[in-house]
Amino acid sequence: MFFQRVKTKGLGHNAYVLGCGEGLGVVIDPRRDVQEYLKLARENDLAIAYVFETHRQEDFEFGSRSLAEITGAKIVAGTHELFGECDVRLADKQELVVGTTRFVALATPGHTPESMSYAVYPKDTGDKCWGVFTGDALFVGDTGRTDLPDPDKTSDNAGVLYDSIHKKLTPLGDHAFILPAHGAGSACGGNISERDDTTLALEKATNPVFKKSRREFMELKVKEKLPRPPYFRHMEEVNLLAGRPLPADSGDRILAPREFQKKIKEGLVIDTRSPEAFAGAHIHGSYNVWLEGLSTFGGWLATESTKLLLVVDQPTKVEQAIASLQRIGIDSVEGFLAKGVEAWREEGLPIESLGTTSAQEAALWMQKGGIYILDVRDQMEWDEKHIPGALHQYVGYLEESPPSLARDSKIVVHCSVGHRSGLAVSMLRRMGFSNVFNMLGGLTAWEKLDLPLEKSP
């Protein structure tokens, strides 16, 4: 039996290609750019017969419709209206046979009302479940967030999710593989393990949903307080259509510095280089979003209609940058700066720089006084540990709620290592804060130096 997990960096997304016997295959929860799934199918002599959707997905745009149009596959989903367009609707416990493999649909709401899981029974396993595609119901070491349908019903939804997992997934057997739609780094969970492979037995021994009572689990989910990216709403809308095909124009137009400069008046510049490179020299008013962060933070800065201009450090990164934005529904890239900031600089066009510091130097500055420490990690990270006396605002909310400080205040910004703080510093500079520093190495370096930390009450 052919089986392949297809990971998407930046999104923490897992899709799957599964061979089902008789030359047929299925794809579970595909992203918008589908070529990798098609390549796997061709190389393994599989005809993609069905595309399964576990739920509507909030953090990326589906490729279900594109795969269906290219291969003739049918889209499979649950009976809930939030699934939108599909070809086959499976009710709870209803079965679908593909080749020699049997799929059993299991309604597992809680993360979202429509969430489904699909238990897999290959021919040679009889009535023993080989594995279950759990969507965002059950992750490795965690469960899906329960605040997305309605933040005021986070606790109630957590109770529903707890029941779904214990009543629908537990009976599948300890041997069953757990195959979630997301892994570490996803915005859909708060504490997903770095490990990809797991079984129901491992989760029963380690996952809070099995280690806590129903009431304790509900209380745990209320405390998560995960940020909700604004582009989630757009993903929910387009995924009612099972996603949209990629545009014919990929947006990879290379612009000479002077042409790039003219277009800046109409759009937004995102510089995808490292925080260190951005600090050394960048274009006035540009945002700094590292390349693998584009699939998440690009959607905090831009909408589907924002005209984007991108800076990359190598021409080979252009394709990755475009794909990262298209996966969250942003197709409005106007072009890239030819030969990057080096060409801009050599053309004699204005450049800016900003300050960086180390954890050790920031600690010395704190002792002397006169500086502010701004932590831009999320609420869960802050509650777990933070620098005493630091201010806190999640990077995604920084522009709508900037710190109430004078614009010439000396501010040291940090996250866990320096990427999110790089974005935060670029935001602050755009807002007129002139004396800001990115603490490279972030709280990771601070902790390794055994510098003071405290925990929220």
- Tens-digit pLDDT string for the chain (457 aa): 999 999 998 899 999 999 999 999 999 999 999 999 999 999 999 999 999 999 999 999 999 999 999 999 999 999 999 998 999 999 999 999 999 999 999 999 999 999 999 999 999 999 999 999 999 999 999 999 999 999 999 999 999 999 999 999 999 999 999 999 999 999 999 899 999 999 999 999 999 999 999 999 999 999 998 999 999 999 999 999 899 989 887 777 999 999 999 999 989 999 999 999 999 999 999 999 999 999 999 999 999 999 999 999 999 999 999 999 999 999 999 999 999 999 999 999 999 999 999 999 999 999 999 999 999 999 999 999 999 999 999 999 999 999 999 999 999 999 999 999 999 999 999 999 999 999 999 999 999 999 999 998 8
Residue 379 confidence (pLDDT): 94
Which residues lie across from 372 on neighbouring strands? Answer: 411
Q: Phi and psi (nearest 5°) for 353? A: -140, 165
Determine the pLDDT at residue 271.
Answer: 98
Distance CA 177, CA 138 (A): 11
Query: Rounded to whole angstroms, how far apart are CA atoms 384 and 301?
Result: 27
Collapse the DSSP code of 42 into the 3-class scheme (helix H, G, I; strand E, B; otherwise coil) and give the result. helix
Cα 226 from Cα 378, distance rounded (Å): 7
Bridge partners (DSSP) of residue 96 are 103
Q: Delineate the domains of the chain, giving CATH numbers in brackets.
A: 3-241 (3.60.15.10), 254-346 (3.40.250.10), 355-448 (3.40.250.10)
Distance (Å, whole) CA 405 – CA 411: 9
- How far is it, in rounded angstroms, from Cα 345 to Cα 364? 34
Nearest-CA neighbor of 135 among 279, 13, 265, 300?
13
- What is the three-class DSSP state of 362? helix
Residues ≥6 apart with Cβ < 8 Å to 392: 374, 375, 376, 377, 382, 386
In the numeric block, which tokens belong to residue 127?
């009535």
Tell me the two tokens of residue 355: 């300050």
3-state secondary structure at position 188 = coil
For 76, the 3-state DSSP assignment is strand
For residue 250, what pLDDT is reported?
A: 74
Q: Are 399 and 319 in contact (CB under 8 A)?
A: no
CB 212 within 8 A of CB 165: no
DSSP state of 5: E
Is there a contact between 1 and 46 (Cβ–Cβ < 8 Å)?
Answer: no
Q: Are strands 391-392 and 372-375 parallel, antiparallel or unpaired?
A: parallel
Exposure b/e, 281-297, CB count within 10 A at least 16 = b = bbbeebbbbbbebbbbb
- Reading the block at residue 315, the tokens are 């021409």
Cα separation of 12 and 6, whole Å?
10
- Rounded to whole angstroms, how far apart are CA atoms 214 and 51? 33
CA distance 285 to 282: 9
The one-letter amino acid code at 454 reads: E
Q: What is the DSSP letter of 169?
A: I
Taking alpha carbons only, the member of 228, 7, 240, 17 closest to residue 114 is: 240
Q: What are phi and psi of 437, to 5 degrees?
A: -135, 140
What's the CA gap between 341 and 339, in Å, rounded? Answer: 7
| Main-chain dihedrals φ then ψ at residue 425, nearest 5 degrees | -65, -40
DSSP H stretches of helix in 130-243: 154-164, 200-206, 208-211, 214-222, 232-238
β-strand partners of 101:
98
